[in-house]
């Protein structure tokens, strides 16, 4: 018997397009947001100078931590389907003030995802054209602008065009890198070594043992960021209570295994004793060198997969950012114009335009201020700090929401043990990225990465001051962080707590 999807609710002039996408598109929103190919090629190798030959262990730690929070997100998403996602969860589970601070943090870092990938696209294309045709590698900014234009067009044309394009791009990039990962393992032969899943090869200068593994996990966690990106699409999904839960958990598990496969393959083929310099090989694109070594002319597929991944990830990041801005504009935490949707495409077009400006401005400014790869690492570290904090708050929200408002459904493992373990799993990477060296196993990052904690802290202090202003002048806006706007889903939970 054919499975039918629920009929979408009637739309208003200010609504996103209800029921526009199914589980496949929601799943690939999360998968492409993680940028599997670009993450394997750039994010994970960025942890090489810290974790060295124990980089596969750093991937395992990140996967476990992210799976734990994915389960908590899924448990909340099936109860609270909202484009506000994280901040709605925090507002309902903990307090609207916490929901506001989560919104403030997410609205700051999620728009950084697109410029992060524009830098990767620029470096990849410019570097390849330099190697093959002698074109100047300094022209990376042209390709960054091309990527920004493509993402803007996809976002402007609406969620169906955007997510369906992302699905096709995601399938291609995962297929290419999975095949190459298996090929590297086979080519490594008797060099295959399970000790890379321990600390034996964690011998980077200044970062040995778990100190290096935890520092490296900052960038392996970066590779996972995005598994939660299905949540802001809840109001456009056909079955948000089911699809978002399946997408966040499924994407974290599937792509986590993909990262373990590819990172292990690269480590045993390249040599675990040399992995501290892995990200410097191949002219800053180490997987290009690996592909040339084992596939010859097949390196072109890897190049296309990385470029494709950068576009797909920046597209998914822009989707999540613009939906978050839309939700915040709807309750006037941001100017109400962010809640405007295009009359034909049903896209939050004001947010799409704002994302273009932020993406181009940030990538070009920091890319020229430092260099593209350093700018990538700098943005990435800020992003990881704030996102880890949000992940920990979501875990707390899961515990509080179920034991306060869903006691009849509360489960000791799902709504107790798993969220607590999820919080604990992120603490070492958070302390390292923030520069809080309170334990011997916490190392210190170099400049400018060491500034990331300060910048994230300043942003959150500004948010706290804004919160105090709203509490005094417009407290309803803060309380509205707990609202759900899907009309066919009445607000049956206990009333949002009064501040």
Q: Which pLDDT belongs to residue 2?
A: 40
Is it the case that residue 381 has pLDDT exceeding 50? Answer: yes
Identify the weakest region by mean pLDDT among 48-52, 66-70, 146-150, 445-449. Answer: 445-449
DSSP state letter for 347: -
The pTM score is 0.82
Q: Which pLDDT belongs to residue 163?
A: 60
Q: Which pLDDT belongs to residue 492?
A: 40
Is it the case that residue 368 has pLDDT exceeding 80? Answer: yes
Q: Which pLDDT belongs to residue 61?
A: 94
Is it the case that residue 234 has pLDDT exceeding 80? Answer: no
Of 193 and 13, which is predicted with more confidence? 193
Residues 6+ apart with CB under 8 A from 146: 121
Give me the chain's average pLDDT, please. 84
Is it the case that residue 232 has pLDDT exceeding 90? Answer: no
Is it the case that residue 416 has pLDDT exceeding 60? Answer: yes
Instruction: Report helix, strand or coil for 237.
Output: strand
Q: Which pLDDT belongs to residue 444?
A: 65
Q: Which pLDDT belongs to residue 263?
A: 97
Q: Which pLDDT belongs to residue 446?
A: 76
pLDDT digit string, tens, across residues 5-20: 443 443 444 555 555 6
Tokens found for residue 453: 């904690």
Q: Which pLDDT belongs to residue 161?
A: 61
Question: Whole-angstrom Cα distance, residue 74 to residue 466?
Answer: 30
Question: Whole-angstrom Cα distance, residue 326 to residue 322?
Answer: 6
Is it the case that residue 254 has pLDDT exceeding 90? Answer: yes
CA distances to 58, 99, 181, 448, 485 from 174, rounded to whole Å, are 20, 35, 10, 32, 35
Q: Which pLDDT belongs to residue 317?
A: 80
Q: Which pLDDT belongs to residue 81?
A: 78
Is it the case that residue 487 has pLDDT exceeding 60? Answer: no
CB 348 within 8 A of CB 159: no
Question: Whole-angstrom Cα distance, residue 268 to residue 191?
Answer: 6
Smallest CA-to-CA distance from 333 within 325, 341, 321, 343 is with 325
Q: Which pLDDT belongs to residue 413?
A: 97
Q: Which pLDDT belongs to residue 408?
A: 93
Is it the case that residue 335 has pLDDT exceeding 90? Answer: no
Q: Which pLDDT belongs to residue 436?
A: 67
Q: Which pLDDT belongs to residue 99?
A: 92
Is it the case that residue 177 has pLDDT exceeding 70? Answer: yes
Identify the weakest region by mean pLDDT among 135-149, 213-227, 232-246, 366-380. Answer: 232-246
What sign results for the dihedral spanned by CA atoms 463, 492, 394, 417?
Answer: positive
pLDDT digit string, tens, across residues 284-327: 789 988 999 999 988 999 998 988 888 887 887 888 788 888 87
Q: Which pLDDT belongs to residue 83?
A: 64
Q: What is the mean pLDDT of residues 441-448?
A: 66
Q: Which pLDDT belongs to residue 337?
A: 87
Is it the case that residue 186 has pLDDT exceeding 70? Answer: yes
CA atoms within 13 A on the CB side of 474: 12
Q: What is the mean pLDDT of residues 11-30?
A: 63
Question: Whole-angstrom Cα distance, residue 442 to residue 218?
Answer: 12
The most confident of the ranges 205-219, 251-265, 425-439 is 251-265
């Amino acid at each position: 018997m054919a499975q039918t999807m629920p009929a979408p609710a009637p739309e208003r002039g200010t609504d996103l397009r209800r029921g526009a996408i199914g589980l496949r598109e929601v799943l690939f929103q999360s998968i492409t947001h993680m940028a599997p190919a670009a993450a394997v090629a750039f994010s994970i190798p960025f942890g090489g100078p810290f974790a060295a030959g124990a980089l596969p262990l750093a991937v395992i730690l990140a996967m476990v931590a992210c799976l734990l929070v994915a389960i908590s997100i899924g448990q909340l998403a099936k109860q609270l389907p909202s484009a506000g996602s994280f901040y709605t969860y925090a507002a309902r589970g903990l307090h609207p003030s916490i929901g506001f601070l989560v919104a403030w943090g997410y609205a700051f870092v999620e728009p950084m995802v697109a410029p992060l990938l524009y830098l990767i696209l620029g470096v990849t294309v410019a570097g390849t054209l330099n190697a093959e045709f002698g074109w100047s590698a300094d022209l990376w900014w042209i390709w960054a602008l091309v990527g920004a234009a493509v993402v803007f067009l996809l976002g402007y044309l609406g969620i169906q065009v955007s997510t369906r394009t992302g699905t096709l791009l995601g399938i291609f990039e995962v297929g290419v890198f999975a095949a190459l990962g298996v090929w590297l393992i086979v080519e490594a032969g008797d060099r295959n070594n399970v000790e890379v899943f321990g600390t034996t090869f964690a011998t980077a200068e200044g970062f040995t043992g778990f100190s290096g593994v935890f520092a490296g996990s900052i960038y392996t966690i970066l590779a996972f960021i995005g598994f939660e990106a299905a949540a802001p699409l809840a109001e456009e999904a056909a079955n948000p209570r089911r699809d978002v839960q399946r997408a966040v958990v499924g994407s974290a598990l599937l792509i986590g295994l993909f990262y373990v496969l590819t990172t292990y393959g690269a480590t045993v083929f390249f040599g675990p004793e040399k992995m501290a310099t892995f990200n410097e090989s191949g002219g800053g694109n180490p997987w290009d060198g690996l592909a040339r070594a084992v596939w010859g002319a097949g390196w072109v597929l890897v190049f296309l997969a990385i470029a494709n991944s950068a576009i797909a990830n920046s597209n998914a990041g822009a989707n999540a950012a613009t939906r978050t801005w839309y939700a915040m504009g709807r309750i006037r935490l941001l100017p109400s114009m962010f809640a405007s949707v295009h009359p034909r495409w049903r896209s939050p077009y004001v947010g799409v335009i704002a994302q273009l400006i932020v993406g181009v401005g940030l990538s070009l400014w920091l890319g020229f201020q430092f260099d593209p790869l350093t700018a990538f690492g700098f943005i990435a570290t800020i992003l990881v700090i704030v996102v880890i904090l949000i992940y920990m708050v979501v875990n707390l929200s899961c515990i509080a929401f179920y034991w306060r408002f869903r006691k009849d459904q509360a489960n000791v493992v799902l709504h107790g043990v798993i969220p607590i373990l999820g919080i604990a799993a992120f603490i070492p990477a958070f302390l390292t990225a923030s520069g809080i060296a309170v334990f011997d196993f916490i190392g210190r990052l170099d400049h400018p990465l060491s500034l990331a904690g300060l910048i994230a802290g300043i942003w959150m202090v500004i948010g706290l001051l804004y919160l105090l202003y709203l509490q005094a002048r417009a407290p309803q806006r803060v309380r509205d962080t707990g609202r759900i706007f899907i009309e066919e889903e009445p607000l049956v939970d206990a009333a949002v707590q009064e501040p």
